[in-house]
Structure 1
Amino acid sequence: MTPLRRSTSLSFILLTLVFVVAALIAGCQPDAATQQEKLIRIGYQKFGSVSILKARGTLEKRLNPLGYRVQWVPFPAGPQLLEALNTGSIDIGHTGNTPPIFAQAAGSSLVYIGAGSPKPQTEAILVHKDSPIRRVEELKGKKVALNKGSNVHYFLVKSLEKAGLRYQDIQPVYLPPADARAAFAKHSVDAWVIWDPYYSAAEVDLGAKTLVNADGITSNREYFFATKAFSEKHEAEIDILLDELKKSAAWFAKHRQEAASLLAKQIGMDVKAVDRAIRRSDYGIETFQPAIVSDQQLIADTFYDIGLIPKQIQVKEAIWSKGIQK
């Protein structure tokens, strides 16, 4: 064999070995899709059923043996959480009743996978402890802080309507909770529409007065969501999540003081404020009955009528097929 042919043969053998080794290495590594399937990313807020579930650590005990790792991602409010869900940054999350209306109107691929029990006493319109405002009617022309698109948005609209005012009669100041609290503390706004535990913290820390809560105005349910793609591939995992949420709700009903301690530590808030919020909270997971869907549809229709969303939507189109009760 000539030196040239010998060199060519050796090169061919070495190149073949490189491909073989590369193939073996690739075969030992899980592909990106497999890695993605083994990670469940859950968005959560400072308060609610998902926060309690996270604090208890029971979901991991169910999913870890199946090869899944749970990643918890915090959010200041529902609109931000659902934006992350829409972009695929998380797989599952929870919000109040209003954020999914804005998200669906914007074309989000979210699906409702569960509904919580009503909690109307956990959101309110607050005024300063020295405020002369005593009635909702007196908010006309006033600056009112709220997180745009959050659960309190609908509550504010209906509260004004009940008082004979239009949304255009106030000056809405759109701020996330932390910024809204700062503005409220400085008296830069006249009122603040907010939910627990920020609501209870404002009462404890700032002496804020409740002008009106949502009792008799809106149900203020908590809802649970997944991306459409995740719901189609992970039905069993969603069933486990909902089952653990139900168990956490049952545990909460019997261990409110312990729940307050767990949440206070987890969210870095004074236990006195958290305990106050806990005492007016109620948790439970319900199947999507037609009445719940109609309640959400009413919010969607209201927002379209007053121009807060650009098009009419059908809430039932975003309900997980397994989650609705005929």
Structure 2
Amino acid sequence: MPYPDLPGDPSRRLMLAAAAASLLPAAVRAADADTVRIGFQKSSTLMIFLKSRGVLEQALAALKVRVTWHEFTSGLPLLEALNIGAIELSADVADAVPPFALAAGAKLTYCAIETPSPQAQAIVVPKDSPITDVAQLKGRKVAFAKGAGAHYLLLEALAKAGLSIGDIEPAYLSPADARAAFENGSVAAWVIWDPFLAAVQRQAGARILLDGGSLSSYRRFYLAATPYAQRRPDVLGAVFAELQRAGEWIRKNPGPAAEWHAPVIGLDAATVTAANQRRSYKVQAVDAEALAEQQRIADAFTQAHILPRRIVIADSPVWRPS
């Protein structure tokens, strides 16, 4: 194992209200040139791995940089926080999230990607649901997180079935609220990603109606606030290297990885194993193919009148390892 077996951080979790900087806790608003604030979510496996072992604290100490950690419910509020200066670095978010942030005027720099994991998100229905295809969602309530990769998957799945987002009743819910609505029958379907997907399959018997397949490659992107990326490319380089090492270790050690990960995120090891089998965890530099797909995703949301204007992905800077 390439990482020291250090104790994890205390289980304190800071939930940021990213709607406005004035609502952020003072501890998050306050930052200096020697601090990098990193945002993550429950699906940010590699960054959680580094956090739990104090790896970045050690790696960045040589650069005289201190690390603080801040958890979010999903990708869009995470990038909203990046946009308003509440954090400097974002752990991985699904491929649909950056276009939403860019549409809001965020100054973001693409830093890295995890290679495609299309089966790691899916549309699910209750095990006893009569729904057997996406066309049957017409007129029904479907839960998903706005601006998440699940949002794009739903858009593409509906289009393939000859429907649009206007043909369903969207229920924009966080994963926790969506799980409750799904289990009490308030929604007909839920579009969700791992590890929540694996959890609802194993714990509630949810049935996959459709996964990403050929509809959505589900790359996950790491981003930075552009001013920080310009000022501290050395920090980005150090984080990139450790993410690659973490991904390689998890791929080569699925059993120990699940045993580590399960208690950290409050799931059993079997559920984590099921989720990890669908994720690539291969970190690489942002390439032309990934950016082209970002443009396709942005255009799809614009054409569906979900984004207010066309986003030109090529206008956003890309950091690449030297």
The aligned residue for residue 221 of structure 2 is: 223
Worse overlay, 282-291 or 193-202 = 282-291
Aligned runs of 1:240-251 on 2, under 5 Å?
Answer: 240-251=238-249
Give the superposition deviation at 1:258: 1.5
The aligned residue for residue 42 of structure 1 is: 38
Structure 2 letter corresponding to 1:184:
F
**SS class of match (2:62):** helix
Give the superposition deviation at 1:127: 0.1
**SS class of match (1:66):** coil
Task: Pick the aligned partner of 1:58 from 55, 68, 75.
Answer: 55
CA distance in 2, matches of 1:101, 1:148: 12
In the alignment of these two chains, the number of paired residues is 291
Greater C-alpha Rg: 1
Tell me if the contact between 1:143 and 1:190 (Cα under 8 Å) persists in the aligned partners: yes
Give the superposition deviation at 1:215: 1.2
CA distance in 2, matches of 1:260, 1:76: 21
Task: Pick the aligned partner of 1:130 from 110, 116, 128.
Answer: 128
CA distance in 1, matches of 2:321, 2:247: 20
Q: 1:324 to 1:219 in 2, by over 3 A?
A: farther
CA distance in 1, matches of 2:117, 2:317: 21
- Please tell me whether residue 78 in structure 1 is matched to residue 80 in structure 2: no
CA distance in 1, matches of 2:292, 2:62: 39
- In structure 1, stretches of 5+ residues that fail to align are 1-33
The aligned residue for residue 149 of structure 2 is: 151
Give the superposition deviation at 1:138: 0.9
**SS class of match (1:42):** strand
CA RMSD of aligned residues (A): 1.6
CA distance in 2, matches of 1:132, 1:52: 40
CA distance in 1, matches of 2:86, 2:185: 36
Structure 1 letter corresponding to 2:68:
Q
- In structure 2, stretches of 5+ residues that fail to align are 1-29
The aligned residue for residue 292 of structure 1 is: 290
Q: Percent identity?
A: 39
**SS class of match (1:37):** coil
Tell me if the contact between 1:105 and 1:313 (Cα under 8 Å) persists in the aligned partners: yes
- Please tell me whether residue 119 in structure 1 is matched to residue 117 in structure 2: yes
The aligned residue for residue 20 of structure 1 is: none
Give the superposition deviation at 1:194: 0.3
Tell me if the contact between 1:129 and 1:209 (Cα under 8 Å) persists in the aligned partners: yes
CA distance in 2, matches of 1:246, 1:162: 35
User: TM-score, normalising length from structure 2?
Assistant: 0.87
Q: 1:308 to 1:87 in 2, by over 3 A?
A: same
The aligned residue for residue 69 of structure 1 is: 66
CA distance in 2, matches of 1:65, 1:324: 18
Tell me if the contact between 1:122 and 1:277 (Cα under 8 Å) persists in the aligned partners: yes
Tell me if the contact between 2:237 and 2:321 (Cα under 8 Å) persists in the aligned partners: no
Task: Pick the aligned partner of 1:275 from 273, 276, 292.
Answer: 273
**SS class of match (1:36):** coil
The aligned residue for residue 238 of structure 1 is: 236
Structure 2 letter corresponding to 1:98:
A
Aligned runs of 1:162-241 on 2, under 5 Å?
Answer: 162-241=160-239
Give the superposition deviation at 1:227: 0.4
Worse overlay, 187-196 or 48-57 = 48-57
The aligned residue for residue 262 of structure 1 is: 260
Q: 1:79 to 1:35 in 2, by over 3 A?
A: closer
Give the superposition deviation at 1:268: 1.8
Give the superposition deviation at 1:324: 9.0
Structure 1 letter corresponding to 2:302:
Y
Give the superposition deviation at 1:270: 2.4
